[in-house]
Every structure is written in C-alpha cells, then in structure tokens.
Amino acid sequence: MPTTAAALDALTDLLGDRLNRSQSDRDLHGRSESHFKQMPPDAVAYPESTAEVAEIVKICHGAGLPIIGWGAGTSLEGHALAPRGGVTVDFSRMAKVLDIVPEDMVVSVQPGVTREALNTELRATGLFFPIDPGANASIGGMASTRASGTTAVRYGTMRSNVLGLEVVLADGRVIRTGTRAPKSSTGYDLTALFVGAEGTLGLITEITLKLHGQPEASRSAVCAFDTMAGAVDAVIATIQSGIPMARIEFVDTAAAAAFNKGAGTDWPDAPHLMVEFHGSEAGVIEQTERFAEIAGDFGAQGFRWAAKPEERTALWAMRHNAYRTTLQAYPGCTAITTDICVPISRLAEAVEETAAEIAASGLPGPIVGHVGDGNFHALLLPKTGDAAEWETAMKLSANMAERALRLGGTVSGEHGIGLGKTKYMRAEHGDAWDVMGAIKAALDPEGVMNPGKLLPGN
C-alpha cells in the first residue's frame, strides 16, 4: 500500500495547486460551526469534475487514506472534520447549476452550489428550491445530511426533494441513482440511501432536485403567547387542522430576548410563533384568518404581519441568524446544539419537560424549533472552559435524546449524526444500526469514506 506521502504526491500530480497542504487551509477545513475541537485533514483537494473526484478517491482508497466531503462547512455535528486525517474534498469548484428543466420542475446541480445561489439562478423561472436549513449550506451537504429546516412542514426535507444522484463510490466507480421521472419502482432506493449517509458511502458529485412553483402570494407574521404551552398547543392545533403552513417556528422567551439584543427587535418577553403562508391571494387570506383564529384560542396577541418581500426577508433572516445572534447574546459561552424531533402529539410534553429541566439547571438554553414537524433545538450555553457547566450541558443534551426516544421520536430531526450523536445510535436503532454497519462494510470495506462518523465500531 502506498504511503500517505506518496498518495498526497500523486494527488498533487493530478491536481497541481488544487491540492492544498498548507496549515491554514488544513485548519480551515478542520473546524466546524459548533463545539468540536480542531481536526484538520492532511490536505484539501479542490476537484473540478466528477472524473477528478473519482481519481482522488481511487488514489486515497489505494493508500487507505480517509476521504471527507466538504460543502459549505455549515454542519453542526462535525460531519466534515477529519478525526483521522486524510483528504478533504472541497466542492467549491464544483458549484455549477448544470441544467434547469422548468417544464419538469427539476434541476441538476453540482454539490458545491449553495441553496441561495441556486435560488438566485432560478428566480426568472418562476420556480424555487424551498428547503431552507437557515445556513447558506451547499446542496451536496444538505443531501448528505438529509437537511430540512423552516419550510419542511410544507415542502418536505431533502429526502423527498432529491430525485437522483451521481455518486463516486469508495473504489472510484461512478454510479447514477434515480431518473428525472417523478417516480420509479426499479429496485433498491439508492437515492434515499445516499441522502443522509453523510459521505460515509461515497461522494455525491451531482444532484437532481425537485423544484416548486414560486407561490403567487406569501405572508408572514409573528405573534406572542402568554405561555409556552399556549404557543406549542397552537402549533399542534394548527397542524392538525390541515392548514398548509409554509413555516411555523417556535421561539421561546430566552430566544426572543436574544433576538432583541442581537437583531434590535422589540419583541415582548414572551414565547412567540413565527409563521408563513404560501398560496393564491385568496388562499393566503383564508389560511391567515384560520391560523389567527386558532392561535387566538391559545392566547396569541400582538400579531405583526409582514406582507412585503423585504419585511419577510428581514424576519426570516433574523430566524436564520438565531444561532449566531444567540451566541453573541451570551459572550464567553460555547454553544451545544440539540435537535430532537417527536410526533406532533408529544410536542408539548417534549418542549415543556426540556424547558423545565434547562431552567432548573441554571444554564442558559434558549429554544427555537421547526415545531410544525415536531422538531426543536435548545441551544445550551455553558461558559467556555467551565467543566461543570459543560457536563451539565452534556447531561441536558443526553436527557433530550432519551426524551425524544421515549416519546416515539428521533435524536436528530435534521442536523444528522456526524461525530456528535453516534452515542445515541444504538438506543434509537438497536440492531438496525448493525444493518447500517453491514451496508457500510459492503460498499466501503476499507473504511475510507468519512471514517469515525455515523456508524458502529467506527
């Protein structure tokens, strides 16, 4: 087997200065947006084509060198870190929108394109790609983590919006999954297998996505509630009523206070819901009225409506910046994100137990969530370097995971497993985790694809 040094030399022969071995670039690709420590790769490769990706993979595979995909670096569970070194494949030079087919409402893209760049290119077509995890993530990363976000309640997650993929396997073979037809029953659903596989089975080099029509009309609003229970129960009643919410987001009192501090708003000290409606002009008015009535029954007040595009953009930018805004509101703290998701009927229990336990712990832990899906996040904020507070935060996080499973839910609604959540996989999946391990062993027997993440014994 060639040495690491020989493999890196071979990669330099292939890529020239598009193989970067500088400390600064390695460090840049060895850090994440969350609390994980620095784990740099041995080098960063910047391929420009699928053929180059396949060559990179073959060289690394031959030398037993880990291969880690990198999109926009916005993942929250350390998916793109290099705990065992190796080569990070940065897709920033494979960021083209390849083919927009408006009449089929599909688009094919390279993995490095970001969701915002894609929507900019789509603007004139009357179509858009709705999945919105907040961060301006890359489509390849979003596919690999099965991302979702604020609009999943209406438009689904990456699971339902990826029609097909091109994937470079661990041995360098290139396969295609799916077609542009709306459905298929021809064998194992490999598209679904690679979506959410976090780069552990192969590198995604092309994605075919479903698009949606830009809504004729949109309207957003924020309203406050007297109690957290009122806000959450309003969500449950709204979802059960069948109103096709485009967004319905919970913001607790602490998160609202952080927004006020970080974004200069003047929301009352209270739990809030942020909502959006998409449809025809008449449909949006009807939905709005029905929602206002339900929310009113649960004590909503102080509705602030945003109908103009710039007002809506400002509102959702604030939601998207919640993570950074909240961090800024608690200087000297480290953020530990959580991401549980429960059946909608158990949402009130899940949120209230979590909030009560956080309050009792004394740690700051604002809660926001895509509650229309039963998914919410507490941002736990121990003081940096305070071992006792860190331990408290870890215990709160573990209790949230246990709570999600007890209530019939899942330890990650959208962030994925990466390095951070493998410890909960056995509890959630039992022997099914070993089935994942068997698939991994079958498709990547050398274990070169993103090692250390997601799988058992890894």
Site for a second copy in 262-321 (CB under 8 A): 283
The single residue among 80, 81, 107, 147 that binds a second copy, judged by CB under 8 A, is: 147
Cα separation, 316 vs 305, in Å, equals 13
* First and final C-alpha spacing in the chain: 22
Determine how β-strand 87-90 pairs with β-strand 375-380: unpaired
Q: How near is the Cβ of 391 to a second copy at its closest, in Å? A: 24
Q: Does residue 404 touch a second copy according to CB under 8 A?
A: yes
- DSSP letter assigned to residue 130: -
Stretch that binds a second copy, among 32-40, 294-302, 329-337, 407-415 (CB under 8 A): 407-415
The single residue among 18, 31, 93, 159 that binds a second copy, judged by CB under 8 A, is: 159
The single residue among 16, 24, 188, 266 that binds a second copy, judged by CB under 8 A, is: 188
Cα separation, 256 vs 242, in Å, equals 27
Q: How near is the Cβ of 147 to a second copy at its closest, in Å? A: 7
Stretch that binds a second copy, among 10-18, 62-70, 352-360, 405-413 (CB under 8 A): 405-413
Locate 116 and state its tokens. Answer: 């915002």
Q: How near is the Cβ of 100 to a second copy at its closest, in Å? A: 12
Q: Does residue 174 touch a second copy according to CB under 8 A?
A: yes
The single residue among 17, 23, 24, 187 that binds a second copy, judged by CB under 8 A, is: 187
The single residue among 180, 406, 423, 426 that binds a second copy, judged by CB under 8 A, is: 180
Q: Which of residues 414-433 bind a second copy (CB under 8 A)?
A: 414-417, 421, 424-425, 428-433
Q: Write out the DSSP string of 39-65.
A: ---SEEE---SHHHHHHHHHHHHHHT-
Q: What Å distances lie between residue 268 and 71, 227, 228, 253, 260, CA to CA?
A: 38, 12, 13, 8, 9
The H-assigned helical ranges of 214-337 are 228-241, 253-263, 281-297, 309-320, 322-329
Residue 90 CA, distance from chain mean position: 18
Q: What is the identity of the amino acid at 36?
A: F
The single residue among 104, 121, 357, 386 that binds a second copy, judged by CB under 8 A, is: 104
Cα–Cα–Cα angle for 427, 81, 367, nearest 5°?
Answer: 55
Residue 256 CA, distance from chain mean position: 22
Q: What is the identity of the amino acid at 72?
A: A
Q: How near is the Cβ of 372 to a second copy at its closest, in Å? A: 8
Q: Does residue 234 touch a second copy according to CB under 8 A?
A: no
Q: Does residue 125 touch a second copy according to CB under 8 A?
A: no
Q: Which of residues 202-231 bind a second copy (CB under 8 A)?
A: 213
Q: How near is the Cβ of 455 to a second copy at its closest, in Å? A: 8
Q: Does residue 182 touch a second copy according to CB under 8 A?
A: yes
Any bridge partners for residue 227, and if so which? none
Cα separation, 326 vs 33, in Å, equals 14
Q: Does residue 196 touch a second copy according to CB under 8 A?
A: yes
Q: Does residue 52 touch a second copy according to CB under 8 A?
A: no
Cα separation, 123 vs 160, in Å, equals 22
Cα separation, 221 vs 235, in Å, equals 14
Q: What is the identity of the amino acid at 80?
A: A
Q: Does residue 32 touch a second copy according to CB under 8 A?
A: no
Q: How near is the Cβ of 166 to a second copy at its closest, in Å? A: 10
Q: Does residue 342 touch a second copy according to CB under 8 A?
A: yes
Stretch that binds a second copy, among 5-13, 116-124, 155-163, 301-309 (CB under 8 A): 155-163
Q: Which of residues 346-385 bind a second copy (CB under 8 A)?
A: 373-375
Q: Does residue 98 touch a second copy according to CB under 8 A?
A: no
Nearer to a second copy, 2 or 283 (CB): 283
Stretch that binds a second copy, among 96-104, 291-299, 318-326, 329-337 (CB under 8 A): 96-104
Q: How near is the Cβ of 157 to a second copy at its closest, in Å? A: 5
SS3 257: helix
Dihedral angle, C-alpha 417, 423, 424, 425, nearest 10 °? 70
The single residue among 8, 72, 137, 236 that binds a second copy, judged by CB under 8 A, is: 236
Cα separation, 90 vs 138, in Å, equals 11
Give how many residues touch a second copy by CB under 8 A: 81
Q: Does residue 124 touch a second copy according to CB under 8 A?
A: no
Cα separation, 415 vs 405, in Å, equals 16
